[in-house]
Amino acid sequence: MTSLLAQIITVTMMNIRSLPQRLWMSLAMVLASAVVVAILLAFLAMAEGFESTMNGAGSDRVAVLMREGSAAELNSVVSREQVNLIAESPGIARDGNNTPLVSPELYVVVDGLKKSSATEANIPLRGINAEGMAMRENMQLIEGRMFTPGTNELIVGAGVLREFDGFAIGEEVRFGKNVWTVVGVFSTGGNVFESELWADVTVIQSHYDRGSSYQIIRAQLATPGDISDLEKTIEQEPRLNLEVQTESAYFAGQGKQLQYMAIFGRVISAIMALGALAGALNTMYTSVADRAREIATLRTLGFSNFSAFCGTLIEALVLAATGGLLGSVAAFLFFDGLSASTLGGSFTQVVFSFEMSPDLFAQGAKLALLIGFVSGFFPAWRAARLPVIVAFRAAT
Amino acid sequence: MNNLYLIYKNMTRKPLRLFLTCFAIFIAFLIFTAVTTLKSALNSGIDLAADDRLVVVNRINFTKSLPIAYHRKVAAIEGVKDVTHVNWFGGYYQDAKNQIVTMAVDPESYLRVYEEVVLEPEQKASWLQARQGILLGRKLAEAQGWKIGDKIPLSSNIFSNKDGGHSWDFVVSGIFDGIDEHYDTRYALIHYKYFIETQTFGGDWIGWMTLVTEDPSLNQQVADAIDNSFANSQNETDTSTEKAFNKAFIEQIGNIGLIIFGVVFMAFFTILVVVGNTMALAVRERTGEIAVLKTLGFSAKRVFAMVLTESMLIALIGGFLGLAVGWVIIEGAKSSMAQFLPNLAVGGDIVGQALLYMILLGLVTGLIPAYNALRLNIITAFNRS
């Protein structure tokens, strides 16, 4: 048993030491598996980043109410009267002063200049009040101060600041005929709210002729995740043509789109992997053919078929793993933390970052090893089975 | 023994290697075809927009509406030949996922401005008379199986009906075609008046205006005149050509698209490099044989041509297979993707590009070994092996 192990080690070391002789072919295989792994990781990192941006926004403790049938905030309208009815409904949490924690919000779309392309893109400008602010527990001002209610002041999400020009603190921004002053930068822990601008809700109502209407009601639930009381209220009160869902359910629905990207990425990298596999198989067959005489000599000397098999297989695995490692490092350097933005559910930009998690690296490593195994197995089989006489003849 | 026979023998000597090489090229071009087709489908809205049409939207954003009074004011501006206004209805049929692109328009001016819409005169007359009439694009009607005279309830995910609920009943008055097959007819038109009178909010507002100028050279002047006349009003406008407007919208999908295409393209070229390396190696291995050929009296030129033809053949076989299978896949996906990407088709420019890359691959991988073969000194070659 030990001698078999020793044989395998000897053959493997020999193969690996002779790699420089087959430099170009070996590099080709490394490159091929590196590219496949890098593609897979790029797509997965994008999907993961987008998902965590969407999911991080949703809380189970908050209910979202919109006009029935409106798939997204932009399409919804909610009246002041409805807000009051909801505030009195059972199932809603109240603060120390017995004030119901209800945040009616209004949302308009404004243009910002994208840094990356210098083109205009849609940013949501959200009108919000103090309760709404309190409801977003992970919201914190990282710079500047809060806007003063009743004035044309706004605070800007960290994501907007990253992707768009002209939103630094103290700058004046013009939307239509209104001029706003940026007074603060807020972070909400990387979730989708960071892609927004926030200002006083009543100021937005008056600037944008919205009267006393809102688009969405956020309400803190007395029992997290339990919207049954609210559903009952809506059912009994004909004036409430609203739909209620928890915030986490709402954002999970909104995040669906980019999941298709992840599927697309997996399909592309699977197909690419087939192409890379063909290249890798070529490499390994050539490698075996190059060393036919070597292998034959070893076997004449008494090395077993199995050790010849293992030697070749390990060589392939080493090459593919090197490629996988290179690909992962490249993907990490290029994509981790890369800020990107795209059109979200309401015709507005969602800013998110590519996220490279350890789980992704594991997936990349698996793919690389799979390529290495398949591309090594068949040539190794051939190396082990090739009759010694034939090998000597072929080599001369 | 003619050249082709020799090339064939050379190529098929190691059938497995030939297969693997062709397969890798096949995969690379398959992906190239699929991805570039997707990309061009995304951009097709820009290419099809007319040059002389301008779009007037609210300066804040196109999702914010404009007062209907603007329509008359714009019509009076010098250089404006015709103007129509459009409201986005946000329509869907039965299920919110089954979206029907529906626009509430001023019928007569819409048909004047959008000359691409081709409609039988009697259908046009019947639509203009029927308040509840809806005009369907041919592709939309076919996809949903709707015929003239059908009564269809459409719901809106934005507006609500005065009767309560979000549904409106429409009767199909006509089915229109596009002026050419690239014109996307997957949308429906309804009467603005009927829409505005039956909805609960947003009365007397329009989504955006489309206008044609008397001459495309007047575009800039007209756009400036429109924007200036509404400057500092409650609703400022932003006027741009239809092309620029569509382009701006597509660009919002953003750097995601750019990153994906970048990554896929890098992968495409890497696969080509890897494959090219194998192909070049295959020729290098045969130095001895080339020397034999030369000894037998084959001219250097003939050997050069043979080596180059071989690498070209491999690149073209793999490439064309990839292109063909890519085409089959795109054709298959066409119908299921039609809702999002109506213009999914492998265009001539994509085929041309693919062909160019195949030839380049064949040249680059074949040229150096072929040149080496050309210059090969018989004696050194024999010594080497």
User: Complex ipTM, two decimals?
Assistant: 0.74
> If you average pLDDT over every residue of chain A, what do you get?
85
Bridge partners, residue A264, by sequence: none
Kindly indicate the confidence band of residue B1, based on its pLDDT and cuts at 50, 70 and 90: low
Phi, psi of B51 (to 5 degrees): -75, -35
pLDDT digits (tens, 9 = 90+) for A177-233: 789 999 999 998 878 888 899 999 999 988 887 788 888 999 999 888 888 888 888
The confidence score (pLDDT) of residue A167 equals 92
Average pLDDT value for residue range B136-153: 90
Q: Chain A residues with CB inside 8 Å of B35's CB?
A: 268
B187-203: b or e for each residue (b if 16 or more CB lie within 10 Å)? bbbbbbebbbeebeeee
CA–CA distance, B252 with A120 (Å, rounded to integer): 8
CA of B250: which chain A residue's CA is closest? A343
User: How close B91 gets to chain A, by Cα (Å)?
Assistant: 11
Chain A residues inside the 8 Å CB shell of B27: 271-272, 274-275, 278
**Pair A33, A320: CB distance under 8 Å:** yes
pLDDT reported for residue A373: 93
Whether residues B59 and A176 touch (CB distance < 8 A) is answered with yes
Nearest CA in chain B to A330: B263
Give the type of residue at A307: S
Output A128 or B255, whichever has higher pLDDT. A128
Q: What's the gap in Å between the CA of A383 and the closest CA on chain B?
A: 15
Please, are residues B365 and B276 in contact by the beta-carbon 8 Å criterion?
Answer: yes
> Do the Cβ atoms of A208 and A214 come closer than 8 Å?
no
In this structure, are residues B168 and B121 in contact, taking their beta carbons and an 8 Å threshold?
no
Q: List the single residue in B with minimal CA-CA distance to A41.
A: B263
Question: What's this model's pTM, rounded to 2 decimal places?
Answer: 0.75
Q: Which pLDDT score, from 0 to 100, does residue A391 have? A: 67
Nearest chain A residue (CA) to B322: A275
- Say yes or no for a CB contact (<8 Å) between B27 and A342: no
pLDDT reported for residue B122: 92
Q: Which of B31, B59, B232 sits opposite A272 (nearest CB)?
A: B31
Min Cα separation B34/chain A (Å): 10
Q: What single string gives the DSSP state of each residue in A89-107?
A: STTB-B-TTS-B-EEEEEE
Sequence-distant (6+) residues with CB within 8 A of A310 are: A8, A11, A12, A380
- Element of type H or E holding B57: strand B53-58
- Choose the mutation target among B13, B261, B277, B283 for the interface with A, i.e. most A CBs under 10 Å: B277
Alpha carbon distance A253, A49 (integer Å): 16
| pLDDT at residue B174, rounded to an integer | 92
pLDDT (tens digit per residue) in A146-173 = 999 999 999 999 989 988 998 999 999 9
Report residue A71 as tokens. 């798939």
> CB contacts < 8 Å between A and B, how many?
157
The tokens of B179 are what? 């002026």
Comparing A1-5, A243-247, A354-358, B90-94, the range with the smallest average pLDDT is A1-5
B232-251: pLDDT as tens digits: 777 888 888 888 777 777 77
What number is the average pLDDT over the span B298-310?
84
Please report which residue ranges of B114-254 form alpha helices under DSSP H: 121-129, 138-144, 192-198, 219-229, 242-251
What residue spans of A107-216 are helical by DSSP H?
130-135, 158-163, 201-207
Residue % of chain A over a pLDDT of 90: 21
| pLDDT band of B349, cuts 50, 70, 90 | confident
CA B229, distance to chain mean position in Å, is: 36
Q: Does position A98 have pLDDT exceeding 80, yes or no?
A: yes
Contact B259 A268 (CB under 8 A): no
Q: Least CB-CB distance to B158: which of A70, A276, A342?
A: A70
Name the range with the highest mean pLDDT among A47-56, B178-187, B210-219, B310-319. Answer: B310-319
DSSP state letters, B69-132: HHHHHHHTSTTEEEEEEEEE--EESSSTTSB--EEEE-HHHHHHH-TTEE--HHHHHHHHH-TT
Helices and strands of chain B, counted as H and E runs: 14, 13
Using CA atoms, how far apart are residues A292 and A390, in angstroms rounded to an integer?
Answer: 9
pLDDT for the residue numbered A5? 85
d(CA A301, CA A291): 15
- Alpha carbon of A349: minimum distance to chain B alpha carbons (Å): 7
- Taking only the tens place, the pLDDT of each residue in B47-73 is 666 677 888 888 777 777 888 889 889
B285: three-class secondary structure by DSSP:
coil
Coil, strand or helix at B151: strand
Most confident of A55-59, A71-75, B216-220: B216-220
> Taking CB atoms and an 8 Å limit, are A25 and B281 in contact across chains?
yes
* CA–CA distance, B192 with B87 (Å, rounded to integer): 8
Q: In terms of residues, how long is chain A?
A: 396
Considering only CA atoms, which of B138, B135, B150, B143 is closest in space to residue B190? Answer: B135
Among partner residues A68, A119, A175, which is closest to B60 by beta-carbon distance? A175
Question: Token pair of B215, please?
Answer: 């001459």
| pLDDT at B17 exceeding the cut of 90 | no
Measured distance CA(A76)–CA(B90) in Å, rounded:
12
Tell me B210's DSSP state: E
Which chain A residues touch B59 with a CB distance below 8 Å? 176
Q: What is the pLDDT of residue A396?
A: 47
The H or E element containing residue B155 is: strand B151-156
Q: In this complex, which of A28, A176, A275 lies closest to B277 when CB atoms are compared? A: A28
Give A257's pLDDT tier (boundaries 50, 70, 90).
Answer: low
The C-alpha R_g of chain B, in whole angstroms, comes to: 30
Q: In angstroms, rounded to a whole number, what is the distance separating the alpha carbons of residues A350 and A73?
A: 14
Q: Report how far residue A32's alpha carbon sits from residue B352's, in angstroms, rounded to the nearest whole number.
A: 26
CB contact under 8 A, A279 and B275: yes
Is A2 a residue whose pLDDT tops 90? no
Q: Which helix (H) or strand (E) holds A332?
A: helix A305-335
Cβ within 8 Å, pair B234-A272 = no
A149–chain B nearest CA distance, Å: 22
Q: Which residues of A touch B365 (CB under 8 A)?
A: none
Q: Tell me, what amino acid is at B214?
A: E
* Residues of chain B contacting A74 with CB distance shorter than 8 Å: 63
Mean pLDDT of A338-363: 80
| Token pair belonging to B368 | 């150096």
Q: Is A362 exposed, middle or buried (0-12, 13-18, 19+ CB in 10 A)?
A: exposed
Q: Give the type of residue at B361.
A: L
Which pLDDT tens digit goes with each residue over A275-308?
A: 888 888 888 888 888 777 778 888 888 888 888 8
Give the number of other Cβ atoms within 10 Å of residue B295's Cβ: 12
A271:B30 CB<8 A: yes
CA distances from B251 to A121, B20, B144 (A): 8, 39, 30
Mutate to test the interface with B, among A53, A174, A282, A284 (most CBs of B within 10 A): A282
Q: Which residue has the higher pLDDT, A19 or B60?
A: A19
Integer Cα distance of B209 and B105 in angstroms: 10
For residue B254, name the pLDDT band (cuts at 50, 70, 90): low
- Which chain B residue shows the shortest CA-CA distance from A76? B158
**DSSP-derived secondary structure for B340-361:** T-TT----HHHHHHHHHHHHHH
- Asked if A343 lies within 8 A of B155 by C-beta distance, the reply is no
Q: Which residue of A has its CA nearest to B233?
A: A177
pLDDT band per the 50, 70, 90 thresholds, residue B341: low
C-alpha span between A351 and A348 (Å, rounded) = 10
Per-domain boundaries in chain A: 2-55+257-395, 69-240
Report CB contact under 8 Å: B253, A111: no
For B92, the token pair is 């869907």
Determine whether the interchain pair A343/B59 forms a contact, defined as Cβ–Cβ distance below 8 Å.
no
Question: Nearest C-alpha of chain B: how many angstroms from A217?
Answer: 17
Q: Is A2 helix (H, G, I), strand (E, B) or coil?
A: helix
Least CB–CB distance from A177: residue in B63, B157, B236:
B236
Q: Which whole number is the average pLDDT over B314-338?
A: 86
Residue B356: pLDDT band (50, 70, 90) is: very high
Torsion of CA A290, A291, A296, A298, to 10 degrees: 180
Model confidence band, residue A352 (pLDDT cutoffs 50, 70, 90): confident
Which SS3 state, helix, strand or coil, does residue B175 take? strand
Task: Say how far apart CA B295 and CA A183 lie, in whole Å.
Answer: 85
Please check the confidence at residue B320 and state whether its pLDDT lies above 80: yes
Query: Closest Cα partner for B312 from B5, B11, B6?
Result: B11
Q: How far apart are the first and last CA of chain B?
A: 26
Residues from chain A contacting residue B254 (CB–CB below 8 Å): 114, 116-117, 121, 340-343, 349
Q: Sorting pLDDT into bands at 50, 70 and 90, what band is B151? A: very high
Average pLDDT over residues A52-69: 81
What per-residue confidence (pLDDT) applies to B9? 81
Rounded CA gap, A359 and A258, in Å?
A: 19
